[in-house]
Amino acid sequence: MSTATVGDLVSQPYKYGFVTEIETEKIAKGLSEDVVRLISAKKEEPAFLLEFRLRAFRQWQQMQEPDWAALGFPAIDYQDIIYYAAPKQQQKKTSLDEVDPKLLETFDKLGIPLSEQKRLSNVAVDAVFDSVSIATTFKEQLAEHGVIFCSISEAVKEHPELIERYLGTVVPSNDNYFAALNSAVFSDGSFVFIPKGVECPMELSTYFRINSGDTGQFERTLIVAEEGASVSYLEGCTAPMFDTNQLHAAVVELVVLDDASIKYSTVQNWYAGDENGVGGIYNFVTKRGQCRGDRSKISWTQVETGSAITWKYPSCVLQGADSVGEFYSVALTNNKQQADTGTKMIHVGPRSRSTIVSKGISAGHSSNSYRGLVQIGPKAVGARNYSQCDSMLIGDQAAANTYPYIRCQQPDAAIEHEASTCRISEDQLFYLQSRGIGFEEAVSMMVSGFCRDVFNQLPMEFAAEADKLLALKLEGSVG
């Protein structure tokens, strides 16, 4: 590989880095019990939720920021963050026509058209701008099937009994430092409820947009699939380019009852900072699903390309007999990005099965770690796990780390873990080039071939997107 020619290729600038000029209502920087009360009051929340937040806040005050991940970043000043920002529109509009056109334009620019004429026909979208959900499409059509898809603030008002029953039951407020913080100050996010026996008639999608520069984003997503229900859900995210770091600490909880399934896909493209590591999102996310029912299934697919720091382990607690957990991940780091990501598969129920396929690509001066836990409890008779973690290194300055933890307490279980590290070899590139394929294209073919197993898991509309995204992110990194 010729350093001169390839090194000269200039990275495509982050094309979602613009800022929308819009009036926002913000509360003062800093975090205290009063701030937690204020957020709850602004959202006119019932008492149980305020209690939940306050308990979480007190727990968070007692906790330490975790330091075990292979990540390095300057200390976060939690008092220098704004915990609530919302575009100034009095309340959520009943019709899209009433939404500030600037917001609609923003989502248009992001490729997520919300207006009636332009929106995707088979995907319902909940659009979250800074801390607040501004629009949800196809709500009525979904309601006909009994499917609830709305912002979590709205769900708190409309379906408080469901929120009270499920919120915090998968990720308790004291689960970890960032989950506790989220539980105290979460602003908005999506709520999905698929009633018994219903197969959700369309893809559901939430699009998160951070706009303001000094605001933390703390969404909370809760998806419940009752007996025999199924849903496919996708989240996307972008943020403007700032030379400061924004904190994003989300919590996602999935609950799956007997014979139900949730497929949760993420294409994460937060601003990653520049090539010197200035700016970018600190992404500390707790995602966990509980397969409570027999034969229930949770499948996580993630394509992680953005963020300066990623700390994220979408997990499955496989409680039900014959329950299934899956994790398919592509994590790409370039420049000075750092990612410590993976999954936890906690096998509790008999014959529970899990599959982990993780593909890490490290380029530039980045560091990319896979950290995964497969735990087989004493009652998980006949449990099975298969894990495959492959790393691809591009350039000799990038790091690829693999930390697969295996804990087994059940002899009638089988765990298999395989991992390999590879690079794009000159021979392979030469072979492709000798067949007339350009250098960049050859590289992106090899990378997308490397990620194929994961892309195949994405909903079709997004697989091609993900492929392109990866090619874009890698431009100029091979040399």
**Interacting residues with other proteins between 37 and 76 (CB under 8 A):** 68, 70
Under the criterion CB under 8 A, does residue 180 sit at the interface with other proteins? Answer: no
Please give the size of the binding site for other proteins, defined by CB under 8 A.
Answer: 36
Under the criterion CB under 8 A, does residue 415 sit at the interface with other proteins? Answer: yes
Say which amino acid occupies 325.
G
Under the criterion CB under 8 A, does residue 409 sit at the interface with other proteins? Answer: yes
Q: Report the residue from 105, 418, 441, 461 that binds other proteins according to the rule CB under 8 A.
A: 418
Q: How many Å apart are CA 179 and CA 165, to the nearest integer?
A: 18
Which residues are CB-contacts of 325 (< 8 A; sequence separation ≥ 6)? 289, 291, 297, 298, 299, 316, 318, 345, 352, 353, 354, 355
* Tokens read off for 277: 């590591």
Closer CB to other proteins, 119 or 359, in the complex: 359
Under the criterion CB under 8 A, does residue 332 sit at the interface with other proteins? Answer: no
Under the criterion CB under 8 A, does residue 342 sit at the interface with other proteins? Answer: no
Closer CB to other proteins, 183 or 338, in the complex: 338
* CA torsion through residues 186, 219, 121, 90, sign: positive
What is the CB-side half-sphere exposure of residue 427 using CA atoms within 13 A? 0
Under the criterion CB under 8 A, does residue 157 sit at the interface with other proteins? Answer: no
Shortest reach from residue 406's CB to other proteins, in Å: 5
With beta carbons less than 8 A apart as the criterion, state whether 128 and 188 touch: yes
Stretch that binds other proteins, among 209-217, 226-234, 289-297, 395-403 (CB under 8 A): 395-403
Under the criterion CB under 8 A, does residue 355 sit at the interface with other proteins? Answer: no
Which residues are CB-contacts of 401 (< 8 A; sequence separation ≥ 6)? 70, 367, 368, 369, 370
Q: How many Å apart are CA 132 and CA 85, to the nearest integer?
A: 8
Q: Report the residue from 202, 237, 256, 398 that binds other proteins according to the rule CB under 8 A.
A: 398
**Interacting residues with other proteins between 420 and 439 (CB under 8 A):** 420-423
Closer CB to other proteins, 113 or 382, in the complex: 382
What is the chain's Cα-based Rg? 22
Output the CA–CA distances (angstroms, integers) from residue 390 to 18, 65, 330, 403, 450, in the order listed: 34, 29, 10, 12, 9
Q: Report the residue from 243, 414, 430, 464 that binds other proteins according to the rule CB under 8 A.
A: 414
Torsion of Cα atoms, 295 then 298 then 371 then 329, to 10°: 130
Under the criterion CB under 8 A, does residue 122 sit at the interface with other proteins? Answer: no
Stretch that binds other proteins, among 47-55, 218-226, 231-239, 413-421 (CB under 8 A): 413-421
Q: Report the residue from 89, 230, 410, 448 that binds other proteins according to the rule CB under 8 A.
A: 410
Under the criterion CB under 8 A, does residue 358 sit at the interface with other proteins? Answer: no
Q: Could you report how far apart the first and last alpha carbons of the chain are, in Å?
A: 6
- Say if residue 95 is exposed, middle or buried (CB neighbours under 10 Å; 0-12, 13-18, 19+): exposed
Shortest reach from residue 408's CB to other proteins, in Å: 5
Closer CB to other proteins, 262 or 413, in the complex: 413
Shortest reach from residue 201's CB to other proteins, in Å: 33
Under the criterion CB under 8 A, does residue 145 sit at the interface with other proteins? Answer: no
* Tokens read off for 337: 């990005």
Q: Report the residue from 169, 401, 428, 433 that binds other proteins according to the rule CB under 8 A.
A: 401
Q: Which residues of the shown chain bind other proteins in the complex (CB under 8 A)? A: 68, 70, 376, 378, 391, 393-423
